[in-house]
Structure 1
């Protein structure tokens, strides 16, 4: 019999259904798991499910029964994959579930910022419309997406879908060549050219040692069109202190971030200190989380488990 332990079930909404496997099993669910609880809760487990709870090399070495770590997300940076490989543990992840929800959230942030929706909503709540004396007022600039240049960092499924939507808006789309690399083919525009010519830059890259802090002050100083910066990927891709400085210096026009370097954020996080500004939108890592996407994730997650047990593993990372 397999023992399946879900370490952080609360990372999926409670109304999202997890299909129970047909094979003999025990399923134990914890809403949250602290780092010091992981080893004890996975004792005797053959299958661990985690979204963001880390599995370190030390913990993995103490779990001789563990055969599969099923990550309930696409990113697997919370898992020591080398340790899993050393101990013969397979790691699976979720793919393709967010092809609508993340791009739609990306454009929600773009539209809200370009059209100053937050500032206008605040004005209405403060009674500015009633005081205006006419049917509308122009306290804040409004800009179209059509005709703007969109620089996309990350050419995977999500980046490609963002490009499709952008073209429907009439935007010019540039895919940034990987930072520090040249000659990657006709899909790509040189990194510096994307920074210099984009009106909006949106990030859809994985977080790796090579991509950490890929946008910092040197990059912001190359941005000639005071672009909006949109990040629905990973917080660590952008130097947050530098981002605030760039905003204060007028190097960029606004930011829409769904991810931060530490989640939940500390009160002293640089972006939390400016979250009340009308040209700053911070959402709590929910771009991925439409009901439709969450259910697709849950179905794929249990499918990964069932396929592994049946001897036909899919979506294997290591």
Structure 2
């Protein structure tokens, strides 16, 4: 079977593809693939591997040799699943590979914020500690995670992994029920109660019509002004304009975003402008944005591609 990888550049350069190569006759890899290049690159492929390249109904109908689409991610929204099923093309995604990486990221961000390690390293680099009249130098408030209330929205594998680590820190865990649910399941609290009580709110729910724009002016107004928001799920869960207003007006203490509604974002995205602005009145120092890397530990990336190879192996065994 002949395979093509349409956007290998979404993975680090030193991630091994050996397990995938063992499952196919040939593997052609492309750093990125534009819509204009898509058909010619896939024309002879039995298997197409894509992370984010879109495979529409029109594209799939023009690929008669195609038997399997391997999505190198959990989400399959870049593939027309109905068209694939109608054409007899199987679509396989990969799940569960990034749990450790994402939960580690969440706590890396929490610990940096509450321990202020970058600030104190900067103090030492700029000579502030060296000039201190005492053995230590206090420039930022350090606070413990112990006893803080962690609100978790989305209690699948990721939410549970975050909760397990939080228990080790002695945090109080608040598991949110689905927004505006009529009934509250055991060991959960209403979404509204979690919003109002959480010192840190971390999002781990999927993007659905019900969760799009979940964090907006109304829900932000229910959070503590000192609260920290972390989004490693999907960018569309958070209304960027409303978050910007809440952070600018100090109605929210701190925001950490690893995802945005458009990726990569435009240079004039309101939140990108806010972290890059040099003018004090435009710059937000209570916002941090990273480039969708919470999932991307070396181990997680390798795990994903190895699981993808398992999907190909399983497909072959059924042929």
Q: Is TM (by shorter chain) over 0.5?
A: yes
Closer/same/farther in 2, CA of residues 23 and 150 from structure 1, 3 Å limit? closer
Kindly indicate whether the alpha-carbon contact (under 8 Å) linking 2:235 and 2:262 is maintained by their aligned counterparts in 1. yes
Residue 98 of structure 1 pairs with residue 115 of structure 2: no
CA deviation map 1:38-85 (0-9, x unaligned)? 222111212110111111222122222212111111122222222222
**Which residue number corresponds to residue 248 of structure 1?**
248
CA distance in 2, matches of 1:239, 1:128: 39
> Structure 1 residues 149 and 66, CA, compared in 2 at 3 Å: closer, same or farther?
same
Task: State how far apart, in whole Å, the 1-side matches of 2:209 and 2:91 are.
Answer: 20
Q: Highest relative contact order (Cα 8 Å, sep 6+), 1 or 2?
A: 1
2:105 counterpart SS class: helix
Q: How far apart, CA to CA, are the structure 2 residues paired with 1:274 and 1:115?
A: 23
1:23 to partner: Cα distance: 5.3
Whether contact under 8 Å (2:106, 2:230) holds in the other structure is: yes
Q: CA deviation at 1:300?
A: 0.4
Shift of 1:138: 2.1
1:12 match: 11
More displaced stretch, 271-280 vs 27-36: 271-280
The answer to whether 1:149 aligns with 2:149 is yes
Cα 1:24–1:104 change in 2 (3 A) is closer
Deviation of residue 164 (structure 1)? 0.4
What is the CA distance between 1:274 and its match in structure 2?
2.5
Cα 1:39–1:225, aligned 2, differ >3 Å: closer, same or farther? same
- For normalisation by structure 1, the TM-score amounts to 0.92
Alignment correspondent of 1:89: 89
Quickly say closer, same or farther: Cα 1:81–1:187, change in 2 above 3 A: farther
RMSD: 1.8
What stretches of structure 1 of length at least 5 have no aligned partner? Answer: 313-318
State TM-score, norm by structure 2: 0.92
Question: How many residues of Structure 1 are paired with residues of Structure 2 in the alignment?
Answer: 311
Unaligned runs of 5+ in 2: 277-283
1:3–1:46 Cα contact (<8 Å) kept: yes
Deviations 1:264-285 (A, max 9, x none): 2211122212326543222211
**1:119–1:278 contact (8 Å) kept in structure 2:** no
Summarize the Cα distance change of 1:124–1:260 in structure 2 as closer, same or farther, 3 Å threshold.
farther
CA distance in structure 1 between the aligned counterparts of 2:122 and 2:267, rounded to whole angstroms: 23
Which residue of structure 1 aligns with residue 195 of structure 2? Answer: 195
Q: Residue 197 of structure 1 contacts residue 225 of structure 1 at CA under 8 Å; is this kept in 2?
A: no
Secondary structure of the structure 2 residue equivalent to 1:201: strand
Equivalent residue, structure 1, for 2:117? 117
- 1:126 partnered with 2:133: no
C-alpha displacement of 1:197: 0.4
Q: Where do 1:1-318 residues align within 5 Å?
A: 2-18=1-17, 19-22=19-22, 25-275=25-275, 277-311=284-318
Distance 1:128 1:143, change over 3 A: same
Q: Secondary structure at 2:267's aligned position in 1? A: coil
**Structure 2 CA distance for partners of 1:124 and 1:223, relative to 1, 3 Å:** same
- Cα distance in structure 2, aligned partners of 1:127 and 1:263: 39
Partners of 2:205 and 2:83 in 1: CA distance: 24
